[in-house]
Structure 1
Amino acid sequence: MIRDLWLVGIGTGSPGHVTLGGMQALRDAAVVLLPRKGEDKEELLALRRAILDASGTQAEIRVFDYPERDPDLPYAARVEAWHDEIGRRWCAALEPAPEGPVALLVWGDPSLYDSTIRIAGRLEPRPALRVIPGITAIQALTAAHAIPLNEVNGAVRITTGRRLRDEGWPEGEETLVVMLDGNCSFRALDPEGLRIWWGAYLGSPAQLLCAGPLAEVGAEIAARRAEARARHGWIMDTYLLRRDGSGA
């Protein structure tokens, strides 16, 4: 049973992206759960351990193997079953039950395109939930390129690669932020009049950036992304698209 569950946003894996409140939460936790996502992603585990080292926590570290999604299920059912299994593995890793709070390091921010809060809601009995926000991938992206997120008085649509592929450019929008895109879905758009700002491994020594008119840099981004993923075994990236191309 998990009595108190703390979700600590860790940005894009840099200790500098964890707030002072997040670092204090890691020091105050009794147990920290760390996901292990396969041998080809040991670097992700190492990044989380580096953050724990930087925090100075004395918490007990319990590692659990992260499940994979079942590719044979429809998308919604696949995600539902995956979330159920993650919750079960949390509980299994927490036997025997700890006396104090349990902390989970959440990539980016727990509130933005992350399901950790939803998974925590499946637990019975439900733990007392505390969320410590972190730097989002969007903040890291705009800071790395030194651009504002929005135009003056402009709206911003945050979406996914899947929706961009299936639905195209949303009518009436001038700025899109696209997350969770493993297929470079911008290649399905008419590039005329579009500008892109792309970033991977944001805030880390391995950071990659590319920006410019989509027609000119789209192929370069796709090639650099594929090469980086093959080299590291994983990639975390996101991008901003702006229709008018002004970037300011």
Structure 2
Amino acid sequence: MTKLKHFDVLKIKHFVIFITFLYCISCQNNTELLTKIEGKQIVIDSTDAIVDSIASFILPYHTHVEEVLDSALAYAPWDITKTDGPYNTTAGNLMADIILEQAAPLFKSRTGKNLDFVLLNHGGIRSSITKGKVSARTAFEVMPFENNIAVVELRGKSVKDMLNYLIRSKRAHPVAGIQLVLNKDDSIKSLKIRGEPFDEDKNYYVATSDYLVSGGDDMMFFKDALEVTDIDYKIRSAMIDYFTKVDTLSPKVDLRYYKVE
């Protein structure tokens, strides 16, 4: 009788194990594996017919964006270009001055340090500002890139490398906060930063674009940066903020960078 009961218990155990196994099998998800992707290129251009329902849906938003972009923010009493001076230009001076004015308080509030000067690149200015209304669209035309303002800490030696780059390039790269005077033979006659004589033993804080920090336009001296601070502020946004708070733009070619004749 004892053997029979033991046999029955074993049968029950085996039955339970079998049922449990079947349950587990039935609960498994069927995993489908991606084996192939097929696609084709669909060219979309001006020859495609406009879908009226989509165009009607988009129109109010498009109209609003156009109105915002074209709303007058400031006024330019004359054309502002990057070709009206050999060493500094109205467009370059405006851009550099905007960065100095808009970035300095942000950098100060975040780091407690003072911004010394600005260096941008001549090629980064993509359009002139024509006489008349200045709008947000103007900023997009002049600066179509998504470049952020970055502040770089440079040793005095690296600043000298920067000056040599400016002299060799013979282009009106925008600067602000410095006064660089060259002799007839392109040697440096004088250099002041924030109104003080240049000190090669001092470190300086230079505002520029994140593109140039990475060595863009062959500005390799930025590779020697002691520290780089991205202030999360686009150059274009700084322009729009500046346009919003001023009435009239009046940049001039001046004596911030020139050669003694």
Same fold (TM over 0.5): no
* TM interval, short-chain normalised: under 0.3
Structure with greater helix percent: 2
Name the TM-score, length of structure 2 as normaliser: 0.23
Q: Whose Rg is larger?
A: 2
What is the TM-score with the length of structure 1 in the denominator? 0.24
Greater RCO, 1 or 2 (C-alpha within 8 Å, sep 6+) = 2
